[in-house]
Amino acid sequence: MKEINLTVNNQPYRLSVPPRRTLLEVIREDLGLTGTKEGCGLGECGACTVLMDGQAINSCLVLAAEADGKQITTVEGLASGDKLHPIQQAFVDHGGLQCGFCTPGMIMSAKALLDKNPTPTEEEIKQGITGNLCRCTGYTKIIESIKAAAENMGGK
Amino acid sequence: MAELSVIGQRVPRVDAWEKVTGQAKYAADYSLPDMLWCKLLRSPYPHARILNIDTSKAKKLPGVRGIVTGKDFGGWSWGWMPATRDETPLAVDKVRYMAEAVAGVAAVDEDTAEQAAGLIKVEYEELPGVFDPEEAMKDGAPKVHDYVKNNISVEYHWNFGDVDKAFAESHIVREDRFRTARATHGYLEPPAILAYYDPTGYITVWASKQSPYFHYRHLAACFKVPLSRVRVIQPFIGGGFGGTKNDSLAGDFCAVLLSKMTGRPVKYIESMEEELATSRRRHSVIVYSKMGVTKDGLLKAIQHRVVADGGGYTAIGPLSMYLNGFMTTLPYKLPHFKFDAYRVFTNNPIGAAMRGHGVTHTRFAAEIQMEMLAEELGIDPVEMRMRNAIDNPKPGEIYETINKVTLKTCGLKQAIKEAVEDPLWRDRDKLPKKEGAISWGTGISGSSYSGGARQMGHQACAAIIRLCEDGTVNLITGATDCGQGSDTVLCMIAAEELGIKLDDVAIKRVDTAYTPVDPGSYGSRVTILAGQATQKAAREVKKQLLETAAANWQVKPEDIEIRLGEVFVKSDPEKKMPFIRLARIACYSGTGAVIMGTGYSSYGIEHLDLTNGIGNGGCSYSFTAHTARVGVDMETGQITTTDFTIASDCGRLLSPVQAEGQIEGGAIQGLGQALYEDFIMDRGKTLNPTFLDYKMPHALDVPNIKLIDIVTDDPFGPFGAKETSEGSIVSAPPAVVSAIHDATGIWFKELPVTPEKVVKALKEKK
Ligand code: FES
Ligand code: FES
């Protein structure tokens, strides 16, 4: 067991975790934040994407111990009260989701992208979400949603 | 049609908020106190007799609470038809495909369960396997099941018209062999279940099922409890696309039985690797296609002999094979048609349903072969299609195919016209043909798919609408939204019919204890059938409300109109009140007035002869014309798809954002099948059971998609709606393959068209 301290959605946590526990397991099972999804568990689908110190990472590949001292943001940390984050709102308005299973990870990848590059080209958007699979939408409306979010956030 | 207020509006999904905030709960997100975890032990052989299972070591592992093997299910088996009940929850005497489940363990945590599963010792006697369906049909091939001859799990032989005569009269006849890939659904949510068998004999499960009522029947039958004591509570579903999530799985049965044995809730989540290695995937089908045409390119006859790899069990195979054939008489006029279908048992994973079910294979073959014939005849591919396309029947008239499929509307010609007027096709010769190593090409295809699928037996589809005293309503259906957006569409239909705002309609997930029985989501049936049921339920509520208002104002019910939450007298608009007030009056009048409406669908209940392929497999049919532009790297064989233009007659789009998303998603899933997706098998073993190696399209692979709506108003669909997405998954592969031919001069007849195949074919061509 290892003692770790981490901040998730601005809440500090102190946990003692077995050495092989992943950050995804900590988020979903220990903290009960089930918005972050497990698709493949192998770093191949992006459903488990969260931000760690602002970087989009596959939380299924990161050991909880590696998150010691880090700032984590999950999909639950985006909206303020009833007000959706502009990226979430754009996904709602532009049909950027269907089954919704890829959506939390997709939105976190979009956030990491727009935080770094507020005015991405279409190609850069595609690059930004290339680690996130979506089987339902064919991506078209996801790309449109991210474009609209960038515009609404004043990127253009 | 009267002016519409809600239908046709670009509204967000009703579940969008929950999904973007991470609040939507999927099966794996549910937990109960004291819950155990289940893991399965799977077979390392594709075909082997089980001689003995020794669980003693596993039982002793601290934390293990229960172990089940095939025998514990008391010989119960299930299947799609009484004659095909060939599958048991866990393998009993023998395993028939690699990774078939043989035992289940419940333990205090997932790791312990997994470790315990590894401690179970199974003694196998390996049997010779058979992995190719054509080999499996031969005399002397290893037998997968003893109850059939030559491993033939399903066969159909249909003969409409006189193909021999038609071929003899044809100007050219071609014969080609086509093959479709071993493709799978590729949803991101692996199957999961949380099960509780409570001591009083009730089973409650939260399971990722797109046909929750199939599961409810399976559990009732397997555990011998009344249906009224089986409660399948439906979480959000992370994608379905048919097959696996329509059916019940080993993990489901084990979780329930282990819960019964231990008295504790049991949770099972399949790993993606297990899912990809065992999913009830699309059949891989060999199509021997023979097609004859006149000098002018008119279709005379098609003869298809199809051989499908059925894998170890029958599952939904009888329907798959029917679907391989019955729509071959669409979307072109076809006077003679012969169909011989064989679904063959092999020691591969089970072949089953997937979006575009059945038609993907035979339409791919027919579409490509028709273009090959056009090429031989020197007829333009568009002209070839226009000459053969079925005309749109005049209102009130019906077009009937030779196998008695009936169309009330057909927008194919219009779709082709508009697709080829689009710059992608119109200006294709103005675009570069060659740039460095890249050769560019443009292709076209046509397709049709049925909506409102029917099947023999339980076709029930109902809706209940309950009015609340504050003017909002609850919509209760047994229909499943597994991501396609049907909850939104059904709410829109209810709002439109009642004259209220979309926000005032609430819908919840299926719960078999409360919602009406329904076959679930497949065959594009929900919008059409549950949509009609919803329409009827809403009309019943409205009727009661109009009577109340009429009594209140001393006018006739037909003089009153309700629109967007306002109730008024048509001839005297001064007489009006908000809907909420009318609701209150209605709910409070008399003693305990309960305003409810019920409705059930009545479309498509005429006789269907599945075995002989006669009649309608659906209520209405979509039509699609699809153009594609690809660039082929003539050195590496890499293919880039830059553009799709898809003109679809999906009837009226009730919820355009949702419908577009369906068409786009179907087309990209089809692109995957055209270029990337295939399970690589080695003697029954799946060599690529991961998303890294089973390649689905990523964001960078997708073309620009332009959609064109062809609106026909089909009388057999609520507000004239038809299906969406199955047409575009069927049209994508032939459009892409036609474009590849334009770029390379080569016809590819086997999917997917991988770079290796391209390089090899280019070498051979030289
Ligand atoms: S679950 Fe982490 S990448 Fe798939
Ligand atoms: S919305 Fe279903 S996987 Fe993306």
Substitution target in B20, B237, B644 with the highest count of A β-carbons within 10 Å is B20
- Evaluate whether residue B542 is within a structural domain: yes
- Same domain for B49 and B68? yes
Q: For residue A154, give Cα distances in angstroms to A86, A117, A124, A149.
A: 10, 12, 17, 9
Taking an 8 Å cut-off on Cβ atoms, the answer to whether A133 and B483 are in contact is no
- Verify that B285 and B408 share a domain, yes or no: yes
Q: For the segment B146-205, what is each residue's pLDDT rounded down to a tens digit?
A: 999 999 999 999 999 999 999 999 999 999 999 999 999 999 999 999 999 999 999 999
Reduced to 3 states, what is the DSSP secondary structure of residue B614? strand
The closest CB to that of A139, out of B28, B186, B699, belongs to B699
Interface test with A, best of B21, B111, B673, B705 (most A CBs within 10 A): B21
End-to-end CA distance of chain B: 59
In this structure, the answer to whether residues B612 and B691 fall within a common structural domain is yes
Q: Which long-range contacts (CB under 8 A, 24 or more apart) does B458-461 make?
A: B458/B213, B458/B517, B458/B519, B459/B519, B459/B604, B459/B605, B460/B516, B460/B517, B460/B518, B460/B519, B460/B600, B461/B516, B461/B518, B461/B519, B461/B525, B461/B529, B461/B530, B461/B532, B461/B533, B461/B600, B461/B601
Q: Chain-wide mean pLDDT for chain B?
A: 96
* Distance between Cα A24 and ligand 1 center (Å): 9
B759, B389 Cβ separation under 8 angstroms: no
Residue with tokens 């005309």: B391
Query: Could you say which of 1.25.40.10, 1.10.1370.30, 3.40.605.10, 1.10.150.120 is the CATH number of the domain covering A86-152?
Result: 1.10.150.120
**pLDDT at A155 (0 to 100):** 65
Tens digit of each residue's pLDDT (9 = 90 or more) over A11-40: 999 999 999 999 999 999 999 999 999 999
Q: Is residue B327 classed exposed, middle or buried when 0-12, 13-18 and 19+ CB atoms within 10 A define those classes?
A: buried
- Taking an 8 Å cut-off on Cβ atoms, the answer to whether A35 and B21 are in contact is yes
CA distance A134 to chain B (A): 7
Domain end marker among B554, B574, B600: B600
Domain end, chosen from B567, B600, B633, is at B600
Residue with tokens 């390379």: B744
Q: Contacts of residue A107 in chain B, CB cutoff 8 Å? A: 20
Q: Is A16 on the interface with B (CB under 8 A)?
A: no
Q: What residue ranges do the domains of chain A occupy?
A: 2-77, 86-152
Collapse the DSSP code of B357 into the 3-class scheme (helix H, G, I; strand E, B; otherwise coil) and give the result. coil
Residue B6 maps to a domain: no
d(CA A132, CA A145): 15
Nearest CA among B600, B711, B701, B696 for reference residue B653: B711
Does B185 map to a domain?
A: no
The domain spanning residue B734 has which CATH number? 3.30.365.10
| Distance between CA atoms of residues B276 and B235, nearest Å | 22
Residues B448 and B465 reside in one and the same domain: no
Lowest mean pLDDT segment, chosen from B12-16, B266-270, B393-397, B714-718 = B714-718
Residues B555, B470, single domain; the answer is yes
State whether B641 and B689 are in the same domain: yes
Give yes or no: residues B367 and B490 share one domain.
Answer: no
- Measure the N-to-C terminal CA separation of chain A; round to a whole number of Å: 48
Ligand 2 atom at minimal distance to the Cα of residue B239 = 2
List all residues 6 or more positions away from B602 whose beta carbon is below 8 Å from its beta carbon: B532
**How many angstroms separate the Cα of B324 from the Cα of each of B402, B449, B675, B730?**
16, 11, 21, 12
Specify the CATH number for the domain of residue B87. 3.90.1170.50
CATH superfamily of A2-77: Beta-grasp domain (3.10.20.30)
Cβ atoms B140, B100 nearer than 8 A: no
Do residue B316 and residue B399 come from a single domain? yes
Flag whether B201 is in a domain. no
Within-domain flag for B134: no
Cα angle A140, B714, B606; round to 5: 115
Q: Are B752 and B638 in contact (CB under 8 A)?
A: no
Strands (E), B165-252: 172-179, 192-197, 203-207, 230-233
B109 occurs within a structural domain: yes
The helix/strand/coil state of B29 is helix
For β-strands B299-311 and A49-52, DSSP reports them as unpaired
Between CA A75 and CA A80 the distance in angstroms is: 11
B622 and B584 in one domain? no
B594 pLDDT more than 90: no
Tell me, yes or no, whether B522 and B440 share the same domain. no
Q: Could B271 and A93 be called an inter-chain contact, meaning their C-beta atoms sit closer than 8 Å?
A: no
Residue B264 belongs to domain spanning: 31-127+207-224+233-239+243-269
- Per-residue pLDDT of A27-82, as tens digits, reads 999 999 999 999 999 999 999 999 999 999 999 999 999 999 999 999 999 999 99
DSSP for residue B474: E
pTM, entire model: 0.97
Shared domain check, B685 and B661: yes
- Same structural domain, B581 and B615: no
Average pLDDT over residues B44-64: 98
Domain boundary among B541, B574, B600: B600
Nearest to B19 among A89, A97, A139 (CB): A97
The number of domains in chain B is: 3
Mutation test residue for ligand 2: of B18, B185, B188, B691, the one with most atoms within 8 Å of CB: B188
